[in-house]
Amino acid sequence: MDPAFFFIQFLSGLASASNLFLIACGLTIIFGVTRIVNFAHGSFYMLGAYFAYTLTQQMMALLGDALGFWLALPIAAVAVGLCAVVMELILLRRIYRSHELFQLLATFGVVLIVQDLVQEVWGPEELFGPRAPGFTSFVVIFGFRFPEYQLVLIAAGPLVLGALWLLFNRTRWGTLVRAATQDREMVGALGVNQARLFTGVLFLGGFLAGLAGALQLPVEPANPFMDVNIIAEAFVVTVIGGMGNVLGAFLAALIIAQLQAFGILVFPEITLVLPFLVMALVLVVRPWGLLGKPETSTSHGFAGDRPLRPLSRTQQALVAALIAVLLLLPLVVGEYSQKLALEVFIYALFAFSLNFIMGAGGMVSFGHAAYFGLGGYGAALLVHHLGLNMELAILAAPIAAGLGALLFGWFVVRLSGVYLAMLTLAFAQIVWSTAFQWVELTGGDNGLIGIWPSQWASDRTVYYYLTLLVCGAAIAFLWRASHAPFGYTLRAGRDSTVRADAIGIDLKRHQWLAFALAGTCAGIAGGMFVFSKGNIDPGSLAIPTSVDALVMVLLGGIQTLTGPLVGGAVFHLLEAYILPLTDYWRAFLGAVILVLVIAFPMGLAGFLRDRLTREESAS
Partner 1 sequence: MTDASVLKVEGLNAFYGRAHILFDVALEVGKGEVVALLGRNGAGKSTTLKSIMGLLAEVRGTRSLDGQNLARLPSFRIAQSGLGYVPEERRIFTGLTVMENLEVGRQPPRQGAPEWTPEKLFALFPNLAEMRDRPGGRMSGGEQQMLTIARTLMGNPRAILLDEPSEGLAPVIVEQMARTIAELKREGLTVLLSEQNLYFAKELSDRAYVIEGGRIRYQCTMAELMADDAVRHAYLTI
Binding site for partner 1 (CB under 8 A): 172, 175-176, 178-179, 181-183, 185-194
| Residue nearer to partner 1 on the CB measure, 176 or 592 | 176
Q: How far apart are CA 141 and CA 236, in angstroms?
A: 32
Element holding 448 (H helix, E strand): strand 448-449
Q: How far apart are CA 159 and CA 217, in angstroms?
A: 19
Closest approach of partner 1 to the CB of residue 282, in Å: 21
Closest approach of partner 1 to the CB of residue 368, in Å: 29
| Residue nearer to partner 1 on the CB measure, 181 or 545 | 181
| Residue nearer to partner 1 on the CB measure, 294 or 485 | 294
Closest approach of partner 1 to the CB of residue 190, in Å: 5
Q: Fill in the amino acid letter for 125.
A: E
Closest approach of partner 1 to the CB of residue 618, in Å: 20
- Determine contact, residues 209/45, Cβ cutoff 8 Å: yes
Closest approach of partner 1 to the CB of residue 96, in Å: 12
| Residue nearer to partner 1 on the CB measure, 296 or 312 | 296
| Residue nearer to partner 1 on the CB measure, 119 or 194 | 194
Q: How far apart are CA 613 and CA 619, in angstroms?
A: 10
| Residue nearer to partner 1 on the CB measure, 182 or 298 | 182
In terms of Cβ atoms closer than 10 Å to its own Cβ (0-12, 13-18, 19+), residue 312 is exposed
DSSP 289-310: -SS--PPPP-----TT-----P
Closest approach of partner 1 to the CB of residue 52, in Å: 35
Inter-CA distances, 615 with 505, 539, 561, 610, Å: 39, 44, 21, 8
Closest approach of partner 1 to the CB of residue 198, in Å: 12
| Residue nearer to partner 1 on the CB measure, 243 or 261 | 243
Closest approach of partner 1 to the CB of residue 253, in Å: 21
Closest approach of partner 1 to the CB of residue 182, in Å: 5
- Determine contact, residues 216/19, Cβ cutoff 8 Å: yes
Residue environment code for 2-39, b if the CB has 16+ CB neighbours within 10 A, otherwise e: eeeeeebbebbbbbbbbbbbbbbbbbbbbbbbbbbbbb
| Residue nearer to partner 1 on the CB measure, 185 or 616 | 185
SS3 sequence of 109-123? HHHHHHHHHHHHHHC
| Residue nearer to partner 1 on the CB measure, 195 or 386 | 195
Q: How far apart are CA 348 and CA 472, in angstroms?
A: 9
| Residue nearer to partner 1 on the CB measure, 183 or 459 | 183
Closest approach of partner 1 to the CB of residue 189, in Å: 5
Q: Give me the helices (H) in 190-286, please.
A: 194-216, 226-241, 246-266, 274-285
- Determine contact, residues 588/541, Cβ cutoff 8 Å: no
Residue environment code for 547-565, b if the CB has 16+ CB neighbours within 10 A, otherwise e: bbbbbbbbbbbbbbbbbbb
From the list 12, 224, 40, the residue with the least C-alpha distance to 127 is: 224
